[in-house]
Chain A
Amino acid sequence: MANDPIHQFQISKIVPIEIGGIDFSFTNASLFMVATVACAAGFLYFATSQRGLIPGRAQSVAEMSYEFIAGMLREGAGSHGMKFFPLVFSLFMFVLTANLLGMFPYFYTVTSQIIVTFALALLVIGTVVVYGFYKHGLHFLQLFVPSGVPGALLPLVVAIEVISFLSRPVSLSVRLFANMLAGHITLKVFAGFVASLGALGALGVGGAVLPLIMTVALTGLEFLVAFLQAYVFAVLTCMYLNDAVHPGGH
């Protein structure tokens, strides 16, 4: 059971709740969503509670993440995109904290659930579509008609643009989900090798050194991936929001 690499993604009910025949139980995944929010919000709240003119370490980290996302959004979507700053900042902090919390042994990785990442991706694309139509009306559809394309090619190009737009929520969610899932499975498999080889006696213990080294290296890699995927998610969010703000600006 402990060696089962899939078991870590198992959802178990903590407080069973059922409303109208639908299961809304408070599960271990829900618990770690709450933990993610508590960690991220708590850190940001207490780190900045001093409001120091000269920041301490924690406040520096909070300010750095703020300026990091602000710079990314301004670069990606221009100054008009800054109205989405709370959204992008929340997404980045939520995904990053969830990814990093998942690195603790026995902790549940919220972002390894396709439904969670898909919901976040739909939130982004939904924001893009709603804001795009709200702000630009039907001009938003210019997004699918790049300027300077010969008339004969236009239907083809529009079709490609529409397909690429529709695939965005899928690629956005699957990228994050698959990275977290695969990373954790790989870690678990190599760590499992250490345990099962170690049980085989002296030779096995010698042989277990290799997967152990691999596990240590992979752990480092997974921390990088945890940050990188949050970063990629935020960058792509900024790029998609750019389409909502400047639909003609391809």
Chain B
Amino acid sequence: MTDTPSSQRVVRSRGSRLARREALTFYLLISPWLLGLLLFVLGPIIASLGFSLTRWDMLSPPEPVGLRNYARMIEDRLFWQSLSVTVRYTLMYVPSELIGGLLLALLMNQVSVRGIRAIRTIYYMPSVLSGVAFVVVWMWLFHPEAGLINATLATVGIRGPRWLADPNTALTALWLMSLWGLGRTAVIYLAGLRSIPRELYEAAAMDGAGAGQAFRHVTLPMLTPTIFFNLVLSIIATFQTFTSAFVATNGGPLDSTLFFVLYLYRKAFQDFQMGYASALAWVLFLIILGLTLLVVRSGQWWVYYEGEQQ
């Protein structure tokens, strides 16, 4: 990670007027985005840190309370419940996304070059659909009596669970629902698979490697940067799960799907506790930051970059 490819270093060392002009153009071109970030993202982020030290119902002026909001979390049963739901869901979803996405990509990779475009589009489609619309469709599928899933199970004599209406199965149902979006990960894997040089497989085949060995010793190591990328993105996104639970269960039944961000939203906009909600947001930020750093650190042990010195 620390080694930069040599080509880049050459450009940088030149430091010519041309390079400086190019850099200036670059910053000019991204300045609208950068300004947007500073004003509409960074500003509110910093403001929320300030609000997290206050009691604020958004109707009357905020009143400073020091670190009380943070201390309050320790005794807040629902804080721990929402954290537990989020962590359990992450442990379910991230591995399934990484492995499922890879399997899907390997399957897609078998298809001819002409077929791949259609297949890729079909699998990616759910990722562009509106989150709410697709959750609503799944809610119908999961309906305990009239839903397609339980109706299908009933034809073979199985009495299906009550899915979203049962605290024992609601989180699992949301997880099954989310697997619909595997295509997004698979498409990234597919790009990774396509960029593995054919020569490596030829060399492996000449050395007598079977399909399994080629996968283990060529495909997998060459894919580690892609896996790494997907892992980081997946963890960050999963910790912020909101839409599916907000639309399908609103955290229930019995708080079994009370995700962290859903609890945060509830505190802010239903309970008028913007100060506490801001504190929750900062705790979530620190958790995600910590996890991401941990994963990035671990990368040096298992991520292989081509051209990197071993």
A and B found bound together: no
Which residues of B pack against A, CB within 8 Å? none
